[in-house]
Amino acid sequence: MHELSVSSAIVETALRHAAGRKVSVVDLRLGKLRQVVPESLTFYFEIVGRDTLCEGARLELEMIDALMACRECGHRWDPAPQPEHGEIVGGDLLLPQFRCPECQAAGAEVLQGNELEVESIEVNENQSDPAPPPMAGPSGTGREAEDSAGVI
Amino acid sequence: MHRTKIKVAEDALDANTTIAHANRADFDREGVAVVNLMSAPGAGKTTLLERVLADRGETRVGVLEGDVQGSMDADRLSALHIPVVQLNTDGGFGGECHLDANMVRSALPDVQLGKIDLLVIENVGNLVCPAEFRVGEDAKAMVCSVTEGEDKPLKYPLMFRTCDVVVVNKTDLLPHLDFDLDLLLHNIDRVNPEATVMQTSARTGDGTGAFRDWLLGVGREVPVPA
């Protein structure tokens, strides 16, 4: 359930960069070596964003495969291949393997797969005279009446 | 109204990392080594600490005890006459399942860094979440007990990967269990071939000397025991 904390951190990061503008999309790069559950992250992101400028924003996840590089022999491999959603695969094929499968050396370097990075955000730029969005509230509000009166 | 895309390229946990660095700077200034001790609930962290800290020599040790609720562990460790600070995550931290850098920072005024050489942060029992959050520690260690099953390193690889030391605890129970110790060691090696693995029984004290020597040596350039 640390996805709640992670979601809060994502929203805070987005809000800081949005600098007062409404956020519509947050692009996140999520490495497969992180133990962050995408569905859970999306769920909490929606909740944490409520009553902020991230309310209603879409969290776009780009999943990043893991990639290791052996410091001894240079071999590169995915240490934690994952089955497709719901697929059940037997045997050793999908067991994590962080020791180099070629030369058996320890101490390989993680090239990618640890990402938890807000890559970019999309914000709504208001015009110089901001108006409430047409579908935002119930019709026949006082503001609408005021505008009409102004036109007349 | 139009949409603008803004490049951010920032780690979402940067704020936590920044606070962790601030914690680390405080620890360094006071000359305090810090170990983040993690495990699943009930693996034996507190019993292991009771055992090894009873024989702490001249080292002034403090413990920051992380739990969702309660002070049972802190009460047990206080019997060793060491400073113990209880940090409950349900008190203002939403009942979080882990400690993060900010929670640790909030407890530092109570810890009194000037009076200790080593701070052990006993994290909330959980094999997933604590692994994601740095708190400013010098080293991370975890306890994995033989009653948890041989497959845990494969199911929770991040926790096993992130630790410098993996303590396999409750070895006194091995004669009573259908537990393949070699398979567990093999699985730990699969996910963290660089980990130092120790086998202990916190209950009998068997093997705990190696962990004590490592713990008391953190931050002092003492070679890790073979």
pLDDT along chain B (226 residues), means of 10: 93 94 97 97 97 97 94 95 94 82 95 96 94 95 97 94 97 97 97 97 98 93 53
For residue B13, the distance in angstroms to the closest alpha carbon of chain A comes to 6
Q: Tell me whether residues A34 and B132 touch, CB distance under 8 A.
A: yes
Q: Smallest Cβ distance to B12: which of A10, A95, A126?
A: A10
For residue A148, the distance in angstroms to the closest alpha carbon of chain B comes to 22
State the pLDDT at residue A145. Answer: 39
Q: Smallest Cβ distance to A120: which of B5, B96, B193?
A: B5
Find which of A8, A27, A98, A102 to mutate to test the B interface (most B CBs within 10 Å of its CB): A98
Question: What residue of A is the nearest CA neighbor of B7?
Answer: A120
Q: Tell me whether residues A17 and B15 touch, CB distance under 8 A.
A: no
Greater confidence (A116 vs A129) lies with: A116
State the pLDDT at residue A110. Answer: 95
Greater confidence (B111 vs A86) lies with: B111
pLDDT at A151 over 90: no
Q: How many CB pairs under 8 A join A and B?
A: 110
State the pLDDT at residue B90. Answer: 85
Structure confidence at residue A82 as a pLDDT band (50, 70, 90): confident
Q: Smallest Cβ distance to A99: which of B9, B131, B189?
A: B189
Q: Smallest Cβ distance to A117: which of B10, B94, B193?
A: B10
Q: In angstroms, rounded to a whole number, what is the distance separating the alpha carbons of residues B47 and B203?
A: 7
What mean pLDDT is predicted for residues A85-93? 61
Q: Tell me whether residues B128 and A116 touch, CB distance under 8 A.
A: no
State the pLDDT at residue A88. Answer: 63
For residue B133, the distance in angstroms to the closest alpha carbon of chain A comes to 9
Which stretches of chain B sit within 8 Å of chain A by CB? 1-16, 94, 96-98, 100, 128-129, 131-133, 154, 156-158, 161, 189-194
The b/e string for B102-141 (b: 16+ C-beta within 10 A; e otherwise) is bbbbebbeebebeebbbbbbbbbbbbbbbbbbbbbbbbbb
Q: In angstroms, rounded to a whole number, what is the distance separating the alpha carbons of residues B197 and A52?
A: 46
Q: Tell me whether residues B6 and A35 touch, CB distance under 8 A.
A: no
- Asked casually if ipTM beats, i.e. exceeds, 0.90, the reply is no
Q: In angstroms, rounded to a whole number, what is the distance separating the alpha carbons of residues B141 and B143?
A: 7
pLDDT in tens, A14-71: 999 999 999 999 999 999 999 899 999 999 999 999 999 999 999 999 999 999 999 9
For residue A24, the distance in angstroms to the closest alpha carbon of chain B comes to 8
Sequence-separated (6 or more) residues with CB below 8 Å from residue B215: B35, B52, B118, B120, B141
Report helix, strand and coil shares of chain A as percent, to nearest 5.
25, 25, 50
Q: Tell me whether residues A35 and B132 touch, CB distance under 8 A.
A: yes
Q: In angstroms, rounded to a whole number, what is the distance separating the alpha carbons of residues B145 and B72?
A: 20
pLDDT at A89 over 80: no
State the pLDDT at residue B52. Answer: 98
For residue B40, the distance in angstroms to the closest alpha carbon of chain A comes to 15
Q: Smallest Cβ distance to B12: which of A18, A24, A118?
A: A118
Structure confidence at residue A149 as a pLDDT band (50, 70, 90): very low
For residue B90, the distance in angstroms to the closest alpha carbon of chain A comes to 14
If one counts every other C-beta atom within 10 angstroms of the C-beta of residue B22, the result is 15
State the pLDDT at residue B197. Answer: 98
State the pLDDT at residue A86. Answer: 62
Q: Tell me whether residues A95 and B7 touch, CB distance under 8 A.
A: no
Average pLDDT, chain A: 83
pLDDT at A144 over 60: no
pLDDT at A128 over 90: no
Q: Smallest Cβ distance to B8: which of A6, A9, A121?
A: A121
- pTM for the full model? 0.86
State the pLDDT at residue B96. Answer: 83
